[in-house]
Amino acid sequence: MTSPATTSPTRAGIRADETHPRFVGQTIHFAGIGGCGMSGLARLLQQLGARCTGSDLVESDITRSLREDAIPVTLEQSAESVPMDTTLVIASAAIRPDHPEVLAAESRGLPVMTYAEALGEAQTCRTGVSIAGTHGKSTTTAMLCHTLLQCGLDPSFIVGATCPQIGGGSHCGTATVPGTGPYGGAPGYLIAEACEFNRSFHHHRPTIGAIGNVEEDHLDIYGTLDAVVEAFADFARLVPPADAGGHLVIAHEGAHRRTITAGLNCRISTLGFSPAADFQVFMDAATQRVGLLQHGLWLTQWTMVMPGEHNAMNSAMAATLAHLMGGDWEQIGAALSSFEGLDRRMQRLGTRAVTGGDVIVYDDYGHHPTEIETTLRAIRTAEKPERIICVFQPHQHSRTRFLLEEFAQSFASADVVIVPHIYFVRDSEIEKQRVSACDLVDRLRQRNIAAMHLYPFDAIVEQLNVICRPGDCVVIMGAGPVWQVARQFVNADAS
């Protein structure tokens, strides 16, 4: 491993205390502002000198919070929703080109940017830190932000999930990096997840990049795993050369490291359980203790609240990045020990009373076979339940169809699986006809796993009330609205 840069990298023409020249004074309308990323970016740009408004279709805690922060939000999406003094429209990934607000902006000659484009533009006046990978981006980002805050560093960040310990999911930090670390005095950090969907992470402008893992996903966009790997390689090439402070941290195993790092000019550090990695991770599953070494030298250790080897890797990635960004090892270990988790990432909601005892209830965002397998295995190890009853809502018909056999294999740690309708998002109507929840149920039954297709959510809650018994663990999984099942069940009275 090469050592961190000893100089303070800067962006040409940008003073550390300067508001963003692209956004200052602008009136920016956010089409689809209700997500964690869009709402966080709106708050950030408002603090960088813009005036922001937004629209969404559903009232939520996020939209209410935005109004409290002086960002007006309308619950109607139409041409009239775009204020007349708007100078720029930023659209979420869910907004199609024929959306009425996009068409209204184009008819008025207003520029339209995607969320990823605007985020990348914002990174040009900060020291950008982009965290990529098929899994674990939100968890790693939240862990990193919490750690830096505990270390006395004050980053700006946008996290794709709610984390109460860091004030929700976004923050606008100091204009310069404090301290005497390798980036001390540089423009302040702007940390964000780098999502590979539709190659949106190619719009990022990171000084520091991270890749935790690379697997088959979004095959409706990429077609093959080779194309996914090439997209991550293109992302890695965005990291500037080492003499400009560029540094990439990549998993030693599971991230196609050799292909992705070939020909890079930035500094490269590897992270993994292998002793060949620059930063080696140790984990004691019985105690949830995690340790980190560098070339045999013990650096720090911590105790995790979130179980599983995957979360050990997520936390180790956060620790490694935090140190490269100026954090002290002792403070890093203490910070990660105090990290309490984030919403819908292996979130233990508590227990629900049933006749004769209690049932443990978890809520999780996992929607890829690897995420399902690792999460269920970690929960079985940590909780040792009599049975795991998993309610899994597939996310997108195309992902379900491409990875159907992998999904069927991923539930080996579950005793009962309940599958509602596939969450329909972005796919075409033709794709919707190619696969159904029943196809997954059939595959699970072929593997001797008790499985059933149930809908609506109320029927699933009723079924859970009937079948759950003391010692069970109910795990609600999926990226769609299936979280409602978890809340309804855990808050219901015992039958």
Model's pTM, two decimal places? 0.85
pLDDT of residue 6 exceeding 60, the answer is no
Q: Which residues contact 11 (CB under 8 A, 6 or more apart)?
A: 124, 125, 187
What CA–CA distance (Å, rounded) separates 74 from 63? 9
**CA atoms within 13 Å, Cβ hemisphere of 269:** 25
Cis-peptide into 456, omega within 30 deg:
yes
What CA–CA distance (Å, rounded) separates 294 from 307? 23
Mean pLDDT of 352-374: 90
- Give the pairing of strands 51-55 and 27-31: parallel
What CA–CA distance (Å, rounded) separates 36 from 139? 14
Provide, rounded to the nearest whole percent, the portion of the chain with pLDDT above 70: 95
Mean pLDDT of 192-201: 93
Q: What is the pLDDT of residue 8?
A: 34
User: Mean pLDDT over all residues of the chain?
Assistant: 90
Question: Could you tell me how many residues make up the chain?
Answer: 495
Greater model confidence, 295 or 228: 228
Assess contact for 170 and 149: CB atoms under 8 A. no
**Position 4 confidence tier, pLDDT thresholds 50, 70, 90:** very low
Phi/psi for 21 (5° steps) reads -65, -20
Mean pLDDT of 330-353: 91
What CA–CA distance (Å, rounded) separates 88 from 106? 10
Of 142, 113, 106, 139, nearest to 38 (Cα)? 113
Rounded to a whole number of angstroms, the distance between the first and last alpha carbons of the chain is 59
What CA–CA distance (Å, rounded) separates 380 from 307? 10
What CA–CA distance (Å, rounded) separates 188 from 168? 20
pLDDT of residue 369 exceeding 70, the answer is yes
Assess contact for 159 and 169: CB atoms under 8 A. yes
Mean pLDDT of 181-200: 91
Mean pLDDT of 362-380: 89
Beta strand residue intervals within 295-401, DSSP E: 297-303, 347-354, 357-364, 387-392
> Quick one: CA torsion of 157, 159, 165, 170, rounded to 10 degrees?
50
Mean pLDDT of 433-447: 92
SS3 127: strand
Greater model confidence, 417 or 286: 417
Please state which of the ranges 165-169, 373-377, 413-417 shows the lowest mean pLDDT: 165-169
pLDDT of residue 333 exceeding 50, the answer is yes
**Position 48 confidence tier, pLDDT thresholds 50, 70, 90:** confident
Distances (CA, A) of 280 to 211, 274, 391, 441: 16, 6, 35, 40
Greater model confidence, 162 or 470: 470
Of 417, 409, 339, 340, nearest to 368 (Cα)? 409
Provide, rounded to the nearest whole percent, the portion of the chain with pLDDT above 90: 67
Q: What is the pLDDT of residue 468?
A: 95
Mean pLDDT of 333-362: 91
